[in-house]
Structure 1
Amino acid sequence: MEKRCGQDVQLQLFICRVGVVEKIGRITPATLDVLTALVWTTEDLHGFALAKEAARPTGTVYVILSRMEQAGWVESYWETQNEQNEGRPRRRFYRLTPDGLASARQTLAERRGANAAPGLKLGLPRPGIGQRPEVQG
Structure 2
Amino acid sequence: MEAFLASFDELHGFSVARASGRPTGSVYPILARMEQAGWLESRWETEHPEPGRPRRRFYRLSAQGQTESRRVVQERRGRLPSAQTTTRPRPALGFIWRWVHA
Report the TM-score when normalising by structure 1: 0.55
Provide the aligned C-alpha RMSD in A: 2.6
Gaps of 5+ in 2: 92-99
Partner residue of 1:76?
42
User: Identity across aligned pairs (percent)?
Assistant: 51
1:47-66 to 2 correspondence within 5 Å?
A: 47-66=13-32
Structure with the higher helix share, 1 or 2: 2
Q: What secondary structure, in the 3-state scheme, does the structure 2 residue paired with 1:76 have? A: strand
Runs of 4+ in structure 1 deviating by more than 2 angstroms, as ranges, are 113-120
Partner residue of 2:5?
39
Report the TM-score when normalising by structure 2: 0.73
Structure with bigger gyration radius: 1
Gaps of 5+ in 1: 1-34, 121-129, 131-137
Letter of the 1:104 counterpart: S
1:1-137 to 2 correspondence within 5 Å?
A: 35-82=1-48, 85-87=49-51, 88-113=53-78, 115=83, 118=89
Paired residues, number: 86
Q: What secondary structure, in the 3-state scheme, does the structure 2 residue paired with 1:77 have? A: strand
Shift of 1:119: 7.7
